[in-house]
Every structure is written in C-alpha cells, then in structure tokens.
Amino acid sequence: MPKLPKIQNRDVIVATSFFALIAVLAIQTTNAQSSKSDVKSVAWYAANIKVAEAKNKECRADASNIELQSTAECENALHALEISFNAKR
C-alpha cells in the first residue's frame, strides 16, 4: 500500500482560507446583485408618478447631500419626472 503524504497544519490552514475566501466572494456577489435589482427604473417611476414625486422630494430635502442625490433611485425618479412633466433641474 502506498504511503500517503502527511497533511500538515499549514496545508489545512491554506485550504480553509481558500474556501473561506470563495464563500465571502460568493456572498458579496449575491448581495451586489440583489441590491441592484432593488433599484426602480425610470419606466417604473414614470408609471408611478406620485412615488417619483415623493422620492424626488426625499432626495432634494438636503441640498448638500450630493451623495444621496446621485444615487440611481434619485436619478431615475428625477428623470421620470423630467420625461413626464418636461421639468428642468
């Protein structure tokens, strides 16, 4: 019977680290995809103008919060309002 190589602690640590890294990357990818799907489109906001108006009001409540205003949700709501009412920024 052939001798099997002795498994060392270093090998176990490397293998465990590798599988942990793969698991973390898989979770991050899944979270990134699900958060993208939560963003409502311009078409959705155009079909739901009252919601678009409320979202736009929320986005513009703090004029200094450029980070919030530049989110996809805020941009899409504003774009839907511009299309629907030919509004200016």
Kindly give, in sequence order, each residue whose CB lies less than 8 Å from that of residue 73, ignoring residues fewer than 6 positions away: 39, 40, 55, 59
| Distance (Å, whole) CA 58 – CA 2 | 71
Which segments of the chain have a pLDDT < 70? 1, 4, 7, 30-37, 87-89
pLDDT of residue 66: 87
Distance CA 59, CA 55 (A): 6
Whose CA is closest to 86, among 46, 36, 40?
46
Q: Are 84 and 46 in contact (CB under 8 A)?
A: yes
86: left (phi over 0), alpha (psi -120 to 50) or beta: left
How high is the pLDDT of residue 88?
52
